[in-house]
Amino acid sequence: MPGYFEEIEIGQVVSLGVMVLDAPAIASFAKAFSPGWDPDAGAPDALLYAAWSRLDQQASADWPQSKRLGVDALRWMRNPPAGEMLRGRMTVMAKDPVGDSKGIVIAQHDLLDEAGRLVFSCLTRSLFACR
């Protein structure tokens, strides 16, 4: 888990956890939020974003991160089938101090399938507190 701004290192990789999307969850989500999506085609793009968001929120709940400033460069590479385990990770790409009490951390977030293939990725900018 990342610490305070000064403790975060460029290149640091942090696990965001794992999640399995089952067939009923995919079908229910598709019906409510991706009308016309065939659940046999795997998890819809919007569900992959929601899965990443949930993993990220759970992993970062206790971090000294005060605000998410942006989510950019979203990429969807594939739509995994029901039952496939997805693994989230965050890689710190850059950091920039903002005064004495905080700093901005730029990170790449990835969702990977069981074979380690990229499913979804995005870049984030977040505000972290200094000690």
pLDDT, residue 25, reads: 94
Nearest CA to 109 among 63, 75, 79, 81?
75
pLDDT, residue 22, reads: 94
Q: Residue 67's domain is classified under what CATH number? A: 3.10.129.10
Parent domain of 66: 5-129
pLDDT, residue 99, reads: 87
Nearest CA to 80 among 19, 129, 122?
19
- Strand, helix or coil at 90? strand
- How many Cα neighbours within 13 Å face the side chain of 126? 27
Binned average pLDDT, 10 residues per bin, the chain of 131 residues: 90 97 95 94 96 96 93 97 97 95 97 97 97 90
Q: Which residues lie closer than 8 Å to 31 by C-beta, 6 or more apart?
A: none
Contact in structure between 15 and 72 (CB atoms under 8 Å): no
Q: How many domains does the chain have?
A: 1
How would you class 123 by CB atoms within 10 Å of its CB: exposed for 0-12, middle for 13-18, buried for 19 or more?
A: middle
Cα 85–Cα 93–Cα 67 angle in degrees, nearest 5: 80
